[in-house]
Structure 1
């Protein structure tokens, strides 16, 4: 499985309801998309949940790299290019994916980065001990990129916990597209 994400930074005075309406009108188009385990339409809104800016940052988890490639190069990603301009797509490999039966009830995502420090034995890394743990999560996805030697953990939640470490970013989920046959 592969993860794919692009970031669209929006002006501080941008009306985020424009993005919410866009997702409401179009989010269903990726429901059940071939090879897509899920797409989380993630947004941040300035001064909400500690966010310093407005952004749209969808996260895709693909079961097949061929389907991700088709999405990018066979017309589907062109709508993103036309709407938001040329965007860098971050690609990573999934380390683990754990989704609960009520994953689709997720409303928020916590994003936490952890560096993979130089070592002579990657086999002994205790990956799960590197991250913060949040109770009541609906799912966790850990991805890595050996090009940058970083892990990223996405924790899916129904509500935002009262206490979250400062280095963790909080996203609101505007829509969650799923392939129920893969869950």
Structure 2
């Protein structure tokens, strides 16, 4: 599995209704996209949930690299690039994924937290700890799913979780979920990914 996110930071006075309208009119286009576990259409508004910025920042969990490549080199991403400029796309191999969502329940909030991995960290032990953290987080009331992914180029872990309602304070950057496309969510494999 591959996690992926890009962030489009917008001016402080930007009408975020434009982003809401964009997602409302185009979000369904990935509801059947091959290779996509889920896409969370995420937005942050300056001054809400501690956000210092207005931002559109979709987060993807891909079942296949082919699906991810098909999206990046296809008309959907080109359309986004035409409208906002081509963003830097961050992507990470997934270390662990847990999903506790019951059918019919949708996410309203998401949290992303970045964690630097120290040079002295023992990687096998740390991998177990990071996988366990994702598992434990899904035991928290309101948590629907959680994953941990790692960028081995920068040795940074990314923790991402979806929440039925508001996320607890202090977990990381909080996003509103405007839409959730889940064409292959049932194919995502729970647990450690090694």
Displacement, 1:120? 6.5
Equivalent residue in structure 2 for 1:182, among 176, 184, 187? 187
- The aligned runs of 1:80-99 (5 Å cut-off) are 80-99=80-99
| Post-superposition CA distance 1:53-96 (Å, at most 9, x none) | 10000011111101211211133311111011021110111111
Unpaired runs of 5+ residues, structure 2, are 189-194
Displacement, 1:128? 4.8
TM-score by length of 2: 0.85
Unpaired runs of 5+ residues, structure 1, are none
Whole-Å separation in 2 of the counterparts to 1:4 and 1:28: 19
- The aligned runs of 1:32-181 (5 Å cut-off) are 32-102=32-102, 104-119=105-120, 121-125=122-126, 126-128=129-131, 133=137, 134-161=140-167, 163-165=168-170, 168-180=172-184, 181=186
Instruction: Please say if residues 27 and 177 of structure 1, whose CA atoms lie closer than 8 Å, have aligned partners that are also in contact.
Output: yes
Displacement, 1:27? 0.2
| Post-superposition CA distance 1:106-133 (Å, at most 9, x none) | 1000111111111363111122566894
What is the SS of the residue equivalent to 2:55? strand
Aligned length in residues: 181
What is the SS of the residue equivalent to 2:76? coil
What is the SS of the residue equivalent to 1:77? helix
What is the SS of the residue equivalent to 1:147? coil
Provide the residue aligned with 2:191 in structure 1.
Answer: none
Aligned Cα root-mean-square deviation (Å) = 2.0
Whole-Å separation in 2 of the counterparts to 1:129 and 1:109: 19
Whole-Å separation in 2 of the counterparts to 1:75 and 1:18: 20
